[in-house]
């Protein structure tokens, strides 16, 4: 009996040696395919620290801007599916499926849903030197001087680009789009007066409005946003206009389901907690909490809507 037990133990030893280490055993990184200070960057940094505490390993935010978010997203789509690499993305990724078809990856084929984080409205701002103090005056200015005024955005297909093109199409105005490498560069150009107009996320632009560095004119929900209640909605002057920005997490499609489910549970707990909800609302965003199947359906629906918008408004990448 002792001999058989020894043989069994020796036979089992190689299997033990081949066993994979428990996940997570290495640091995680959240790739933000945009520059510092934008909505995706803010959301990623919001979840990184509490996620690190929950998992017991470092969670690092890595900015990889460029090509309207395509460079960083492509990096994650082609990363090993070992549960260590995520991407924080949103509307832009859906828009780029139509706007930039030659990306080398297909979003909903090559990336798997992890969890949503938040949704926020954008705000239309101008440099204080612009001779328009309200939305009506701004639209009148654009109509009186077509093609003279430039607006900054953070790359083709980003919400700040799409909101500007939507305004042009729905309000019958003409502005010239000026692309920057990221939203931080675009924002800096507007604050400095190099480019006079921008749509930007409320969480990042609200402090600039309050400090008087830019003038807020309107927000992009169908109704006034509680974060900036003194500003009208663009829809008050342009019926039906709405363009929010949502942010969520994805990772390589072949990532094992237990890892996706664990990350979904942890991020949902962080976002849905009382403290998490309060913090997001202070920033001007609303937390998004849904099941994994609901999030997958949300992504599919947004892709369908974004494709229709790009085609209807005849929006181009450059």
pLDDT at 74 over 50: yes
pLDDT band at 4 (very low <50, low <70, confident <90, very high): low
pLDDT at 98 over 90: no
Q: What is the mean pLDDT of the chain?
A: 90
Q: For residues 234 and 218, what is the distance between their CA atoms, to the nearest angstrom?
A: 5
Residues in contact with 122: Cβ distance below 8 Å, sequence separation at least 6, in sequence order = 159, 160, 163, 199, 200, 201, 202, 219, 220, 243, 244, 245
Specify the pLDDT at position 7. 43
Specify the pLDDT at position 318. 62
Q: Is 210 exposed, middle or buried (0-12, 13-18, 19+ CB in 10 A)?
A: exposed
Q: For residues 220 and 198, what is the distance between their CA atoms, to the nearest angstrom?
A: 12
User: Domains (ranges, CATH) in the chain?
Assistant: 27-119+245-313 (3.40.190.150), 121-236 (3.40.190.10)
What mean pLDDT do residues 232-248 have? 94
Give per-residue pLDDT as tens, 112-137: 999 999 998 999 999 999 999 999 99
Q: Are 242 and 305 in contact (CB under 8 A)?
A: no
Pure H helices in the chain: 2-18, 39-55, 70-77, 91-99, 107-110, 135-144, 159-171, 183-191, 202-210, 257-272, 274-283, 292-313
Specify the pLDDT at position 19. 53
Give per-residue pLDDT as tens, 178-224: 998 888 899 999 999 999 999 998 888 999 999 999 999 999 999 99
Q: For residues 223 and 151, what is the distance between their CA atoms, to the nearest angstrom?
A: 23
Give per-residue pLDDT as tens, 28-53: 999 999 888 888 999 999 999 999 99
Q: For residues 172 and 209, what is the distance between their CA atoms, to the nearest angstrom?
A: 26
Q: For residues 76 and 92, what is the distance between their CA atoms, to the nearest angstrom?
A: 15
Q: What is the dihedral of CA 90, 92, 98, 101, to 10 degrees?
A: -100
What is the pTM assigned to this prediction?
0.80
């Amino acid at each position: 009996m002792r001999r058989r037990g020894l043989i069994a133990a020796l036979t089992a030893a190689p299997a033990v040696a081949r066993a994979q280490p428990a996940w997570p055993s290495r640091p995680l990184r959240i790739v933000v395919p945009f520059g510092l200070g934008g909505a995706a960057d803010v959301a990623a940094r919001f979840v990184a620290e509490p996620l690190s505490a929950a998992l017991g390993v470092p969670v690092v935010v890595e900015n990889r801007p460029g090509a309207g978010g395509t460079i960083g997203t492509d990096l994650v789509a082609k990363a090993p599916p070992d549960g260590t690499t995520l991407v924080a993305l949103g509307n832009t990724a859906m828009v780029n499926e139509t706007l930039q078809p030659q990306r080398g990856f297909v979003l909903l084929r090559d990336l798997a849903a992890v969890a949503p984080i938040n949704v926020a409205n954008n705000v239309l701002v101008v440099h204080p030197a612009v001779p328009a103090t309200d939305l009506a005056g701004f639209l009148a200015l654009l109509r009186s001087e077509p093609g003279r005024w430039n607006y900054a955005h953070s790359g083709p297909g980003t919400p700040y680009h799409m909101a500007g093109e939507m305004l042009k199409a729905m309000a019958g105005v003409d502005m010239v789009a000026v692309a920057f490498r990221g939203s931080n560069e675009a924002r800096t150009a507007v604050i400095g007066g190099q480019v006079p107009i921008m749509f930007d996320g409320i969480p990042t632009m609200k402090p600039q409005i309050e400090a008087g560095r830019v003038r807020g004119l309107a927000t992009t929900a169908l109704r006034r946003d509680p974060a900036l209640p003194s500003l009208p909605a663009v829809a008050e002057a342009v019926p039906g206009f709405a363009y929010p920005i949502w942010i969520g997490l994805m990772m390589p499609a072949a990532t094992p389901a237990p890892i996706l489910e664990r990350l979904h549970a942890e991020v949902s707990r962080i976002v849905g907690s009382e403290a998490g909800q309060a913090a997001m609302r202070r920033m001007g965003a609303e937390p998004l909490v849904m099941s994994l199947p609901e999030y997958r359906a949300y992504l599919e629906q947004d892709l369908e809507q974004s494709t229709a918008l790009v085609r209807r408004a005849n929006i181009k990448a450059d």
